[in-house]
Amino acid sequence: MSRTDTATARAPANAERRYEVLRSELPLSCPTPAMALWNSHPRVYLPVEATGEATCPYCGAHFVLKG
């Protein structure tokens, strides 16, 4: 029987519609490294630096550069 530690569990992929990201988290990809990948789409890198916003073409998640 396996045990999942909630402190180290990854967030479900693409569970939100809007994400705020910091410059320290760039380069930005969807799904992000913090998301579980087993049930998600292929990783795509998103250009958020120029406009401060980007939308994933696969799942529609909207990313906003914070700060």
What are the pLDDT digits (tens) for 2-55? 444 444 456 666 677 899 999 999 999 999 988 887 778 999 999 999 999 999
Q: Is residue 55, in this structure, part of any structural domain at all?
A: yes
| Domain count along the chain | 1
Q: Is residue 5, in this structure, part of any structural domain at all?
A: no
DSSP-based three-state secondary structure for 23: helix
Q: State which residues form the domain around 36.
A: 18-60
- R_g of the chain computed on alpha carbons: 13
What predicted TM-score, i.e. pTM, was given to this entire model? Answer: 0.74
Tokens of 18: 């809007």
| 1: confidence class by pLDDT, cuts 50, 70, 90 | very low
Q: Is residue 10, in this structure, part of any structural domain at all?
A: no
Q: Is residue 7, in this structure, part of any structural domain at all?
A: no
